[in-house]
């Protein structure tokens, strides 16, 4: 890997250089010359260069080795004209620091479940700079390579989504243990969510101090809850994590909240405190813009399966999506969820070209 360690540049000076990037201006609701685009899980198995490295290292080694995490962050940036980079890591990376080991086989498997009050009381909330120092080092390496040309997004799981993995001990279809805890014993759920919010805030803070230009919380599973429970258990803790992280560093960067399956509570996603809300394909883009209102930028929301279609269909559907957006309201192009491993790499090139073409033509 052609990257050396040593990151002495501070986060703020790099953030200042990237601050006029298209993506960051769009997040701030400034007028932009075209729609910025990036792709959730843009580094990953659909890329042959990812699979080549993956033959030699497992996924956790990727996340824990700054030079490898930096190289993987940059792979899609070298290949495509993306408007943002996202740090290569995972939402479950803070868990070992909280006292729960994680394996990927390939889906995530936690060493134990955390669903009793005593198990929750035992969870630690360490300083992420000490518990996972490799994350900040990866950020510094990426920022040195990017040199302000492309902004870098740091991220964490939102407290509710992180808590659901702790309670279930891995992925889940029905999340019945999570829901049982949250419905039967809301006070203990609050205790768990509070600890998750502290761990998430510490992770975002560490990434900010190392120099990320924007922060994103993934609430991929919030939508499994009824809307009233999202308002009670998901959104306030996401807001708390954002606010504590940004208060700790003392400056503002765009906050992005990915709201999975949010059609039943979209307006409420504003209570996450984010200026950018990511939505999936289960809601129309213009409806999402309308419901979120003029102060929020919508990020999304092409169905990742479209990329498996013939290339002229990819182009057509991407252009139709971009044109369906209300140009007076904000839009950052993305997929509605992570890119699928079976996606042909050429489809991504066609997609990004189509988004550029369709959005450039609309500028008044």
Which are the catalytic amino acids? 41, 45, 54, 90, 165
For residue 132, which of 90, 192, 171 has the smallest C-alpha distance? 90
> Considering only 38-46, 272-280, 285-293, 310-318, which stretch makes contact with ligand CP3 by CB under 6 A?
38-46
Binding letters toward ligand CP3, positions 284-313, x by CB under 6 A: ------------------------------
In the complex, the smallest distance separating the C-beta of residue 92 from ligand CP3, rounded to whole angstroms, is 6
Contact 79, 345 (CB under 8 A): yes
Q: Of 241 and 358, which has the nearer Cβ to ligand CP3?
A: 241
Q: 333 by DSSP, 3-state: which?
A: strand
Nearest distance in Å: CB 59, ligand CP3: 4
Q: Is 171 in the site for ligand CP3 (CB under 6 A)?
A: yes
**Whole-angstrom distance between the N-terminal and C-terminal Cα of the chain?**
45
- How far apart CA 268 and CA 256 sit, in angstroms, is 14
Say how far apart CA 125 and CA 94 lie, in whole Å. 9
**Distance between CA 337 and CA 262 in Å, rounded?**
13
Based on the shown chain and the rule CB under 6 A, indicate whether residue 44 belongs to the binding site for ligand CP3: yes
| CA dist list (Å): 351 to 276, 290, 296 | 22, 25, 24
Give the nearest distance from C-beta 166 to ligand CP3 in angstroms. 13
User: Which listed residue (18, 27, 70, 91) binds ligand CP3 by CB under 6 A?
Assistant: 91
CB atoms within 10 A of CB 4: 9
As measured in angstroms, the least distance from the Cβ of 39 to ligand CP3 is 8
How far apart (Å, rounded) are the C-alpha atoms in residues 54 and 51? Answer: 5
Contact (CB, 8 A) for 280 and 271: no
Choice between 7 and 44, CB closer to ligand CP3 = 44
The sheet with strand 255-259 has its strands ordered as 85-86, 152-157, 214-219, 255-259, 276-279, 297-302, 331-335
* Residues in binding contact with ligand CP3, number by CB under 6 A: 24
186, 194, 264, 338: which one binds ligand CP3 (CB under 6 A): 338
Q: Binding pattern to ligand CP3, positions 198-237, x when CB under 6 A?
A: --------------------x-x-----------------
Which residue lies nearer to ligand CP3 by CB, 223 or 236?
223
Confirm or reject binding of residue 71 to ligand CP3 (CB under 6 A): no
Which of 17, 65, 104, 324 lies at the binding interface for ligand CP3 (CB under 6 A)?
104
Angle at 147 between CA 318 and CA 142, to 5 degrees: 75
Binding site for ligand CP3 (CB under 6 A): 40-45, 54, 59, 86, 88-92, 104, 106-108, 155, 171, 218, 220, 337-338
């Amino acid at each position: 890997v052609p990257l050396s360690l040593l990151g002495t540049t501070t986060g703020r000076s790099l953030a200042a250089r990237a601050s006029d990037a298209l993506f960051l201006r769009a997040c701030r609701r400034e007028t932009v010359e075209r729609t910025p685009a990036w792709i959730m899980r843009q580094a990953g198995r659909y890329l042959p260069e990812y699979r080549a490295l993956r033959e030699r290292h497992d996924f956790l080694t990727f996340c824990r080795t700054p030079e490898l995490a930096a190289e993987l962050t940059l792979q899609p940036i070298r290949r495509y004209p993306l408007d943002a980079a996202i740090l290569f890591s995972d939402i479950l990376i803070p868990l070992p620091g909280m006292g729960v080991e994680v394996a990927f086989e390939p889906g995530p498997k936690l060493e134990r479940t955390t669903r009793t009050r005593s198990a929750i009381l035992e969870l630690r909330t360490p300083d992420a700079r000490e518990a996972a120092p490799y994350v900040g080092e990866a950020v510094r390496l990426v920022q040195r390579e990017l040199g302000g040309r492309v902004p870098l997004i740091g991220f964490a799981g939102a407290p509710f989504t992180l808590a659901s993995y702790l309670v279930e001990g891995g992925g889940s279809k029905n999340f019945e243990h999570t829901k049982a805890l949250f419905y039967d014993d809301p006070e203990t759920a609050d205790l768990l969510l509070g600890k998750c919010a502290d761990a998430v805030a510490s992770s975002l803070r560490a990434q900010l101090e190392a120099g990320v230009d924007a922060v994103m919380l993934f609430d991929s599973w919030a939508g499994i809850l009824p809307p009233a429970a999202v308002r009670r258990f998901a959104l306030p803790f996401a807001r708390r994590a954002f606010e504590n992280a940004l208060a700790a560093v003392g400056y503002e960067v765009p906050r992005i909240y990915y709201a999975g399956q949010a059609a039943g509570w979209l307006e409420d996603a504003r209570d996450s405190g984010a200026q950018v809300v990511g939505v999936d394909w289960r809601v129309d883009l213009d409806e999402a813009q309308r419901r979120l209102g003029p102060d929020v930028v919508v990020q999304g929301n092409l169905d990742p399966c479209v990329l498996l279609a013939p290339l002229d269909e990819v182009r057509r559907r991407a252009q139709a999506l971009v044109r369906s957006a209300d140009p007076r309201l904000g839009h950052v192009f993305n997929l509605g969820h992570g890119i699928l491993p079976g996606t042909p790499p050429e489809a991504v090139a066609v997609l990004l070209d189509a988004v550029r073409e369709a959005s450039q033509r609309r500028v008044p």
